[in-house]
Amino acid sequence: MTSEQFVNVTAVTADAEWAWPTVTSSPVVMAAGGWLVLQTVQTTLTVLALSDNCLSLLVMYGLVRRLTSPLRLLTSLSFSDMLAAWAMMTVYLSVGNTSSAHHVTCGDVLHTSLLLSAHNAAAMSLTSLSTSHHIATFRPLHYDSLLSARRVWVTVAAVWMLSVTLSHVQFLMAVEWAGSGSYCEAVARHSYIALIISTLIAGVSLLAAVVIYSSILVYLRPVDAFVQPPAGLSDGSHRSTRGVVTGVLLFTCYALAWLPYLVTRQLHTSSHLAVSLSGTTLLVGCVINPVIYGCRMTSLYDGYSRLWFRVVDRIRTFWSRCARRHSSDDVSRLPTTPLNQLSSVCY
């Protein structure tokens, strides 16, 4: 009997090899180990990521006068950031369900699948954005026809369909589950396939970004060196590379945010610190992305400015109404005597 128990424990341990390391990302377990501060930081970053991405979408579709192709592609990036932030909250689904160090819950499987979906969508959206910059640089006359609204939305839909499918292949691989352990454990045993696919997508996206933006900068550099701005006009070279610099900043933020997570998952580390820090850097990237393209893109910056002025005008109007009401209340309290000028006028 003892040997059979040993074999079963060994099998469960081997089956959980590709699952989330020791599956102790539960906030309760981490808080018990002194991780309450880090979990509070992650929750705060999650709220900030959801808030500023929702605000960016509100400005794009409510205050921007003309929705361009880059803005449509940034819509996909904004949704991927919100999905990543929401996926970090799915860790709470496994609270109280972890009975052993190698037990896999359905909350952990859902957490991994949603995060990989967000990663794949972010990588492909940024690659599409770099492609639009390449077309704008080398084929400017065909930019409107190649990046029409219909083609961009079809591209966004294809990006999300492919991202979700590739991040859920472990569910298809677990269809042949024969009952050895739970279904979620069977899915977790095949999660390494989706992780490898996401890592390949990250590598291809970063390589494509390096090639595309390097070729753009090499092409624009001699032009900027020989073109002199007319007297009294600002230099147009900075405007010509503004979108390129924005794309480079977004790819840099993507690499710093997602590569630690992918490396941590590939190394199967059991360190709670490494797991938590990778999730924290991921959330920081989701918060910074809207700030980058909100400050760099002129149309979005103008939209935020109009939103700010509208809020200030509403506050001033509300304050003036309150002050007027307060002053009218003071007048109504005046005594009705001949010495009161208002009363004498009424009489």
Q: Rounded to whole angstroms, how far apart are CA atoms 196 and 162?
A: 15
- Domain 11-214+244-323 coded CATH 3.30.70.100: no
Q: For the CA atoms of the chain, what is the radius of gyration?
A: 28
Neighbours of 88 (CB within 10 A): 24
DSSP 160-212: HHHHHHHHTHHHHHGGG--SSS-HHHHHHHTHHHHHHHHHHHHHHHHHHHHHH
Cα–Cα separations (whole angstroms), residue 23 to 114, 270, 276, 329: 16, 9, 12, 64
* Closest C-alpha to 146, from 159, 128, 161: 128
CA 90, 277, 182: angle at the middle one, nearest 5?
Answer: 40
Q: One digit per residue, pLDDT tens: the chain, 347 residues?
A: 444 443 343 443 444 344 444 333 444 344 444 467 777 888 899 999 999 999 999 999 988 888 889 999 999 999 999 999 998 887 655 544 444 444 556 777 888 889 999 999 999 999 999 999 999 989 989 998 999 999 999 999 999 999 999 998 888 877 766 556 677 777 777 888 889 999 999 999 999 999 999 999 888 875 444 444 554 444 444 446 788 899 999 999 999 999 999 988 888 765 667 777 888 899 999 999 999 999 988 888 888 888 888 888 889 888 888 877 766 555 555 555 554 454 444 44
| Phi, psi at 187, each rounded to 5° | -65, -40
Q: Rounded to whole angstroms, how far apart are CA atoms 273 and 138?
A: 46
The residue ranges of every structural domain in the chain are: 11-214+244-323
